[in-house]
Amino acid sequence: EAAVTQSPRNKVAVTGGKVTLSCNQTNNHNNMYWYRQDTGHGLRLIHYSYGAGSTEKGDIPDGYKASRPSQENFSLILELATPSQTSVYFCASGDALGRAEQFFGPGTRLTVL
């Protein structure tokens, strides 16, 4: 059974709308991450978390918020979605920040029209 799951898997949103991407992990990992993947840019870190209640800004946090209400759940929130946020979003979990294997979810394909 998949240890990192994401929902929804596909999402079409309108410009200016609010979008929430959800991630759940059963690895009991302290650390969780949100990345976006775009052609030519690889994986870019948006937000990450050390544990429940903590969120940290990654390399490209503008236009995104994050929420970690529990060890298992980590959400990415787009308050006012823009077409430039059309991308594939991956959630990942890991034991120790940066030095342990990160396990990725299946991804969410977001299209903002």
Partner 1 sequence: QQQVRQSPQSLTVWEGETAILNCSYEDSTFDYFPWYWQFPRESPALLIAIRPVSNKKEDGRFTIFFNKREKKLSLHITDSQPGDSATYFCAASQGGRALIFGTGTTVSVSP
Q: Among 3, 60, 77, 97, which residue interacts with partner 1 (rule: CB under 8 A)?
A: 97
Beta bridge partners of 66: 76
CB under 8 Å to 17, separation ≥6 — which residues?
A: 80, 81, 112
Considering only 18-26, 70-78, 79-87, 98-106, which stretch makes contact with partner 1 by CB under 8 A?
98-106
Query: Residue 33, interface with partner 1 (CB under 8 A)?
Result: yes
Regarding 10 and contact with partner 1 (CB under 8 A), the answer is no
Looking at 8-16, 22-30, 42-50, 79-87, which segment touches partner 1 (CB under 8 A)? 42-50
Q: Is 96 in the site for partner 1 (CB under 8 A)?
A: yes
> What is the distance between the alpha carbons of residues 92 and 5, in angstroms, rounded to a whole number?
9
CA distance 26 to 73: 9
Say which residues have a Cβ less than 8 Å from residue 1's Cβ, sequence separation at least 6. 26
Q: Footprint of partner 1 on residues 44-83 (CB under 8 A)?
A: 44-45, 48, 58-59
Residue appearing with tokens 């970690």: 68
CB of 69 to partner 1, least distance (A): 20
Length of the chain: 113
Q: Which residues bind partner 1 (CB under 8 A)?
A: 33, 35, 40-45, 48, 58-59, 90, 96-99, 101-102, 104-107
